[in-house]
Amino acid sequence: MTTSFRLPDLGEGVHEAEILALPVVIGQAVREGDIIMAIETDKAAVEIPSPFTGAVREILVKVGDMARVGDVLMTFSPEATAGNVRPPERRGADSKAAPQEPKQGPHPPEQKGRPVPASPSTRRLARERGVDLHDVRPTGPGGIVTREDVAHHAEKKKAAEPAELAKPLPPQVKETPQAPQSRQTSDSGAPRPPQPEHEARMLPDFSKWGEIERLPFRSIRRATARQMSRSWAEIPHVLCQDDVDITRLEAFRQRHRSDMEAAGGKLTMTIFAMKAVATALKNYPSFNASLDLQAQQIIIKRYFNLGIAVDTENGLMVPVIRDVDRKSIKELAVELTSATTRVRSGMHSPEEMQGGTFTITNTGPLGGSHFSAIINHPEVAILGLGQGRMRPAVVTDEGGRHEIVPRLLMPIVLCFDHRVVDGADALRFLRLVIDALEDPDELLITMI
């Protein structure tokens, strides 16, 4: 009798995962809770524990495969033989055990079947450079392989190749082979062909005109493309934009920035925008909604969880800050700083990327001006912030006189789903946000 282990449901909007590591072998005894594989989704890299106690009978995937939720990945026999001597690698260390010194050389042969400690971005770089992490000398704390270790190993490997291998290959074989297709299985265990995401179109042979490189299109990058394509194809985007005079708000931010940093947070314009948006969403709940076409209903959410777009080396990530309306500016600054650090280091959990009701993207730190943002489906709106710049502006004093003065102006854009929201309400929503950001006292008073 055997028991099948299938890729479990990985949470909201996650349907597939890439196999990063397989620390077990056929015939190996495992206990319930032992780590049997590491996977990476478009949300995060996670380790999967065994739900069974027994012996591994079949392993139906290999490192690099893409698997979908419900696919059979392994089978287990309930009996575990005494001849199995190597347990799966465990992440946690016994508190009574003596600390281990970091490895000073490549991982020994007996470690070849086990996953190498490395971040998701390091693993991706190793795959792109064709490097086996087991062969890399780790320099990180606790024997962790870093991106620099991989790059250094790849350069040494390239320098050691014979001269004839370094010559350019003919165009017909110069391209790196495509990544292996995932082994999809039916309920009977028989392989089934992978499901295409969209109709493939033939491209010209670019290698005819010069050197090219092929990189795997997977994980976060592929998930981002799929999400953006769906959003753009399904949602009729409309945008309204304006400039915000943040001169007073910037002065307020500078006065309190050091206090916020001492508390472990960063006082950015995004933090103020989060509070302004939470107030606007309570006044205009149709922006805090999703459209259920199947049920022909608009779902209004009575909670205010804001997704914040974060630029990482692995691509765009959107951690969700929950209950923004109930948290102070200081609490939001600390929480967003912590969330940003986790997603950039790959240490976030899938749950941190779920449950958003509205998204804010701030391109200001990169120098962006006016732009059009794409709505994060199934949300119905997104707010974009550009870089604040000193520009001449016409101001009116209490006596009605006009004068041109330098002011710090920040571009702001609201993109919305015209099936759910009308343009007039979009302008009112944006006006409320602008008024709050232009006047710190107004922002504090109107916070609900």
- As annotated, the active-site residues are 418
Q: Are 169 and 161 in contact (CB under 8 A)?
A: no
- Give the three-state DSSP class for 435: helix
Beta bridge pairs of residue 326: none
Q: Are 379 and 410 in contact (CB under 8 A)?
A: no
Q: What is the dihedral of CA 421, 424, 429, 435, to 10 degrees?
A: 170
Give the max Cα distance, the chain. Answer: 92
- Choose among 223, 371, 228, 358: nearest CA to 301: 358
H or E, element range at 308: strand 306-308
H or E, element range at 156: helix 147-160
> In sequence order, what DSSP letters do the residues of 361-429 get, joined into one string?
EE-GGGT--S--PPP-TT-SEEEEE---EEEEEEEE-TTS-EEEEEEEEEEEEEEEETTT--HHHHHHH
Q: Are 64 and 123 in contact (CB under 8 A)?
A: no
